[in-house]
Structure 1
Amino acid sequence: MKRRTLMSLMAGLSMSALLTAPALAADITVGMSWANYQEERWKIDESGLRAGLEEMGATLVTADAQSSNERQASDIDGLLARGVDALLIVAWDSEAVIPSVERALAEGIPVIAYERQIEYPGVFYVAFDPVEVGRIQARELVKVQPKGDYVIIKGSPTDQYAHYVLTGQKEIIDPLIDNGDIKIVGEQWTDGWVPDNAQKNMENILTAVNDKVDAVLASNDGTAGGVVAALSSVGLEGIPVSGQDGDIAALNRIALGSQTVTAWKDARELGRLGAKVAAALASGTAPEEIEGAVVWDKGPKGTAQNAAVLAPVTITRDNLDVVLDADWISKEDLCAGVTDNAPDACK
């Protein structure tokens, strides 16, 4: 009932008009189904999402699937029963969640796949460009280690985002593999993106290659933490390692010199973008009319979806001031334990 009223009120309004008229969003409730809220970054995303919705007068309700497909399905049923007007989902498994997506769409509830793509017709995709994340990681490692034995510690095999990151990495390193400059000596998926799993995978690879590793493409900062722990145990701390997200611990590792790069994703901004898209769709704005909307058809099924995609930022020791200036991290946290060879941001 309230959705139809809002749709008639919003007919013909642009996205910018929507954002300048928060009263029109005052009757909107947005649901968010988190795959596993324990991850550091989702708390930051939620702060941006909640703030963006509150500024428009909308309400956010959330549920945490705690790394369970069954729990996520139950959570989504619960959010739909509460009468949400739009549903954002961070999928634990992008295929397993599809029946829940179908139920939401059948009820006329707009569905937004948040960061982790759900490749299904009618689902809007909101994310930081995952292919560019992979490019950033590989570019920076190749700059400092253009030749040698590389390991790839990939993300979760059930998360399409991890596959996109790998695509970006390979765009950069495949020509160097083909000409013999780089050799991949180990490559493993990391179930659930869990750092302990990444550490075990890295330890097994180190054993298999007698610790002969020159660089590691770790797909996010959590897996990078596991990788660095494994490398440290065999005296290899300091070889090039990549990551993504801009986790506090990862930025500190960059300052310390045990991680080379993170593809920083200001999750506060993605949260705000998710809020804008959810409010617009719930208010009847056509997906293709959302400001900045593009067609995303890079998935394995080739499904064309409307999407809003933000650009990640390369962060290395040379520009750590960027995250300081953005109030993403305190200087105390960034520079904890840094003594010799401090980056400029820690001087």
Structure 2
Amino acid sequence: MKVFTKSLSSLALITTFAAAPASADDFVIGLSNSYYGNTWRHIMVDAYEAAAEEAKTSGRIADFVTLNGDGSVEAQVAHINDLILRGVDAILVVAASETALNGVVERACAAGILVVGFDNVPTAECAYKLTVDFQDYGTTTARGVADVMGGEGNLLVVRGMRGNGAENAIYSGQQNVLNDNPGLNVVAELFGEWSGPVAQAEVANALPNLPHIDGVFAQGGGDAYGVLQAFLQSSDYAGDIPPISGGNSTDFVNWWRQANADSGYSTVSAAPDPSIGASALWFALNILEGATPEKVTPYPVTLLTDDDLASLGDLPDNSVVSVERPESWVLENLLN
């Protein structure tokens, strides 16, 4: 596994690369990323930009554009309209809403622009989609925590970004596990917004008013490490941290690995891989060059269990465990 890393504090909210004048054979590709507020999104953008730089250096694209939003539909609609006006050849979209962007996506398609949605995808029929099964992801991680809990105990549910389609799907998957485990008692639901600092603050504020927590369903994006910090700072949980479903942040995984070695702490961690940013770039470029994949293509998540911890090697802080997926992987697994 290769681990991509980038400090959150070193990056601006919106980064743009001015599209160079292109000949008929030169492509310009734009990314409209709805939200930039966690490590996963930063690393996803890094992966996309690294692949785009590779494609540009090799002469396969003329340039690329990156627009990062604030999580709102309004900002993303403005960004996609901007990309349409720039006359880009393809727009990659991580959607703030599965449905609210359909109008502007269809406008892009009508202008002859290839649209590829990934991670959280718009439902517009004209768009190609790299889809993550977020409901299955929610079920898998929740089941892992429920198994560690023995199917019984008080449960804290830390949700993601309000109103987001992926968030709703993850939550639905978690509900499947609750339906199968009547011994699990949900004592509180909080919104951590897929952010470590937000999740930490919300959980820290809630813990003094809650009964003892035996397990936590989290959603990813770095929230698990924030949840963990809230428990570590509570004297009521000294030496008794409940299983928390992780989102593959290296800070959480490093703590988990040490706690597993010291005391047998057990949980699961999973996430849509941030390398999907690069995969989406290669996927779109190959379509521009003549590939004809299905309109909907599944994309795998990266799942970690206790058994995987020893094989991960040294992991840097403030990063995400990620499998490197070069263009050759995309050709074999997404376009074959």
TM-score (norm 1): 0.71
Matched, 1:239 2:245: no
SS at match of 1:254: helix
Contact kept, 8 Å, 1:41 with 1:267, in 2: the verdict is yes
Question: CA 1:207–1:64 in structure 2 vs 1: closer, same or farther (change >3 Å)?
Answer: same
Indicate whether 1:186 and 2:188 are aligned. Answer: yes
Question: Which residue identity is paired with 2:94?
Answer: V
Contact 1:34 1:65 (8 Å CA) reproduced: yes
Query: Which letter maps to 1:261?
Result: V
**Equivalents in 2 of 1:262, 1:127: separation in Å?**
19
1:277-333 deviation digits (Å, cap 9, x = unpaired): 312443465xxx41xx4xxxxxxxxxxxx3222222321343124443xxxxx3465
Letter in 1 for 2:188: G
Q: Pick closer, same or farther for the CA change 1:26–1:144 going to 2, 3 Å.
A: farther
Q: 2: distance between equivalents of 1:96 and 1:323?
A: 39
Deviation at 1:97?
3.0
How large is the RMSD of aligned CA atoms in angstroms? 2.8
Contact persistence 1:32–1:87 (CA under 8 A): yes
Q: What does residue 215 of structure 1 align with?
A: 215
> How many Å apart are 1:260 and its aligned residue?
2.8
Q: Deviations 1:109-147 (Å, cap 9, x if unpaired)?
A: 222222112223222222433223212211221221121
Cα distance between partner residues in 2 of 1:230 and 1:223: 11
Instruction: Report how far residue 77 of structure 1 moved.
Output: 1.9
Give the 5 Å matches for 1:1-347.
27-53=26-52, 54-55=54-55, 57-58=60-61, 59-146=63-150, 147-177=152-182, 181-190=183-192, 192-210=193-211, 212-235=212-235, 236=237, 238-244=241-247, 246-257=248-259, 260-268=267-275, 270-283=276-289, 285=291, 289-290=292-293, 293=294, 306-324=295-313, 330-331=314-315, 333=317
Give the aligned partner of residue 342 of structure 1: none
SS in 1 for 2:213: coil
Relative distance call for 1:43 and 1:199 in structure 2 (3 A) is closer
Report the CA distance shift for 1:264/1:189 in structure 2 as closer, same or farther (over 3 A): closer
Equivalent residue letter for 2:279: L
The answer for unaligned runs of 5 or more in structure 1 is 1-24, 294-305, 325-329, 335-347
TM-score using structure 2 length: 0.73
The number of residues matched between the two structures is 281
Deviations 1:237-283 (A, max 9, x none): 62100122x22222223224388322044322x12321233124434
One-letter amino acid matched to 1:238: I
Question: Match of 1:213, SS?
Answer: coil
Mean Cα deviation higher: 35-44 or 246-255: 35-44
Residue aligned with 1:31, SS: strand
For 2:216 and 2:37, how far apart are their aligned partners in 1? 25
**1:71 alignment partner, SS class:** helix
CA drift of 1:26 comes to 6.0
CA–CA distance in structure 2, aligned partners of residues 229 and 47 of structure 1: 27
Unmatched runs of 5 consecutive residues or more in structure 2? 1-23, 260-264, 319-336
* Structure showing the higher helix proportion among its residues: 1
* 1:221–1:250 Cα contact (<8 Å) kept: no
Displacement, 1:182?
Answer: 1.3
| One-letter amino acid matched to 1:193 | W
Deviation at 1:29, TM superposition (A): 1.4
State the identity %: 25
The whole-number CA distance in structure 1 between the counterparts of 2:158 and 2:228 is: 12
Give me the whole-angstrom Cα distance separating, in 1, the residues matched to 2:207 and 2:50: 44
